[in-house]
Each structure stands twice: as structure tokens, then as C-alpha cells.
Structure 1
Amino acid sequence: MADVQVEQNRAFGGVIDIFEATGIEYVIWGGVAAIAYGEPRFTRDMDVVVRLRYSEADTLARLLEETGYSVSVEAIRDAVDRYFYFNAIHLETGIKVDFYVAPRDPIYAWAFKHRRMKNFDEFRQAAYMPPESVILTKLQAYQESSSTRHLDDVESILRVSGSELDLAYVHREAARIGVFGTWRELLERSGLGRRRMGSGGEA
């Protein structure tokens, strides 16, 4: 497991270094973000949400290739055009990083505004999606895929970081995007449903 962690740090760290050097806005998402706010679990790959312009595609592709990743500049351009995703493979380890171009949605705007800098490894910090946004996107992913892994991640975040969450914001956004029933069930199961929700949810 230690060897896997070393490989992941190499594969993911190179991407973080590129973003920090270029100023391209990003937040770590998905399983890696869920682990940052919840309980440890294994995840092989990393998901990143990026604010990327079409004019930055060539530079990003070049830097990724120079750092040891296989990536398609055409896929990057297509992702920017369609608010879609592309991936890069770290050639030394075979580890994949998925890059999702941030859609025009309030959840992602809030996520970038409230992103958190956290220690990624012993050498660097990285920008993470805040836990409220991780929860909301996990609930959306469950609605689309029915994979219970997403619910497990939400429950893990509630157990570890529940006292720090802006529950009023999550409550409101869960209702807006149509996942309120699932959210309420998980919240009640965690015991946090009894906690009084304030106005919260700074826009």
C-alpha cells in the first residue's frame, strides 16, 4: 500500500505542480477529495475540476507531456468546448487523472469560491473542493449511476467532518438539484439531522 501511495503522489503531484505554475484554477474532486474530509479508502485515480480556456489547451497538453503524461490536445479542446472531460495517463505508473471542465452551475461556482488548500503530501499543498460540494456532487453521481460508493463517501464525510459543514447550504442545494430525499436520509442516519440549521450558505 505504501508503494501505491508513492506512485499516486508522483502521478498526482505532477498535475498539481503544473496547475500551480500556470495559475489554471482547479479543485481536487471525487474519491481523493472524499478521503480528505472522510475516512481512508483506496482510490486508484484522481478527478480534478478545472476552469480552462480554449487558448490554454496547447500549453496544458505540452506541460503534461513534458512531465511524463500521455494526453490528447484534441480531447482537451473538445472538453473545453462541451464542458466535458479528458484524461491524462502518467506513463511511469499507469495512473489516470480525469479532468472535468467546470460547467456553468452554481454548485461549481460555490466550490471554486470556497475551495480549501490542504496538505497533499509532504512536499506540496493542493486546492480541494469543499466538503459541502463533494457531498452534493456525490449525491448527483449516485442519482445518475446508483453506485452506493457515492453514498458511502457522503456518510464518511458526515462522520468525520459533519460538525464543520454548512448544512443549510447543502440542504438548500440538495433540494434545488433534486437529491433532497437521499440527502435527508443520510443526514438523519448520521444523527446530524437533529442539529439546527442556521441561515448559512454564503453565496
Structure 2
Amino acid sequence: MEQEKLLQELGKIFEKLEIPYFITGGIATVVWGRPRFTADIDIVIQLALQKLDRLATELLKIDKDVYLDKHTMHEALRTQGEFNFIHPASGLKVDFWILKNQVFEKIRLKRRIAKKIGKQTIYFTSPEDLILSKLVWYKESRSTRQLEDVESVLRISKVDKKYLKKWSELLNISQIFNDLLNKIKST
């Protein structure tokens, strides 16, 4: 199974179960920035407890050999953390991140953008929210991959700089954001 086909399958499941979601991470970077390899799919989901078992059942139907731990799903929901889904035949891994009860996270969900993959509508984080979330990750991890991704999105996608400025200040990443903007201007 390839990434596009898996994204379509997941989109159908979320639509069927009425689970709000958006794709973020490396796949979203490919959509809004430069092409790059990514071995996993990062999805933020707004999951209610009453839909957890139905989601697990639908994910397990994708293939007989998939890995999914229901206990980890319950723990992720309780802690607003993450759980994994692995499709061994293709080597694809999906990291499901539970939507946090934070203002920025709720805004990210409202600002998601629909794109068609084949005939399936798939929701992606906006380019601005991808930039902001990657800068937060960079601040926490110092992973240069995050900065490279942000730079590619800033160079390729038309973005709302006022929104970025406002939220970079609210998220305490304005210095990192401004340094990156200055770097781009000077090259």
C-alpha cells in the first residue's frame, strides 16, 4: 500500500465516523513546501471516547497484518498524546496525535484546508499553522529538519505573514521566526 492509497483509506474512515482531523508533518510539508522523503504520516484527530473503539475496528479492517494497540489508543486519549498504526507490508506508519485542548490547536483544526487525493477529500493543516507547529517543534528539539521544512514552505507557499507574526509571538517563537525570515531575505 502506498501513502496516497492509505491517506484515501484513512480519509474515508474519518468521514464515515465523523472524526475531525488534519494531516501535518512531512506529508503537509510536501503539500505546502518542497518534496522530501517521509516514512510516516502525522495526523491530528479530534477523537471522542465513544468513537475510539469504532475507529480501532475500522483501522484494523485496512489489512490483516496491521499493528494497533487499543490500550495505547485509550492512554493517548486520556493524556492528549499519540498512538501508532503500522502497516507492515508497506512499512508505512501513521502517528495519530490527539487534538490538545489548547486555543492554537483548536484554531489549527478550524483552519484546515481540504485537498483532493484521487476522489477522496483529505484535510491538511494550513501552511501557516504548519510553519508555526514546526517552529514549536524546533524550539523543543533543535531538529534542523524542522527549520528546513519551514524555509521551504515560506519560499513556496503564499502565507499570511500577519497571522504568522501574531501567533509566533503568542507561542513564544517570534525570535526563531524572525531569524528565519531574515535568513530567507538575505539569500
TM-score range, shorter chain: over 0.9
Contact 1:48/1:99 (8 A) holds in 2: yes
Q: Does 1:99 align with 2:93?
A: no
Percent identity, aligned pairs only?
33
Map of 1:38 onto structure 2: 33
Query: Which amino acid letter does the alignment assign opposite residue 19 of structure 2?
Result: I
Contact 1:38/1:157 (8 A) holds in 2: yes
Map of 1:90 onto structure 2: 87
Aligned-residue offset at 1:171: 0.8
Map of 2:181 onto structure 1: 187
Contact 2:77/2:98 (8 A) holds in 1: yes
For the residue of structure 2 that corresponds to 1:191, the secondary structure is helix
Aligned-residue offset at 1:188: 2.0
Map of 2:161 onto structure 1: 167
Q: Does 1:49 align with 2:44?
A: yes
Aligned-residue offset at 1:10: 2.8
- TM-score (normalised: structure 2): 0.93
Query: Which amino acid letter does the alignment assign opposite residue 36 of structure 2?
Result: R
**Structure 1 consecutive aligned stretches of length 4 or more whose deviation exceeds 3 Å:** none
For the residue of structure 1 that corresponds to 2:22, the secondary structure is strand
CA RMSD of aligned residues (A): 1.5
Q: How many corresponding residue pairs?
A: 184
- TM-score (normalised: structure 1): 0.86
Query: Which amino acid letter does the alignment assign opposite residue 180 of structure 2?
Result: L
Aligned-residue offset at 1:73: 1.3
**Aligned mates of 1:160, 1:11 — CA distance in 2:** 26
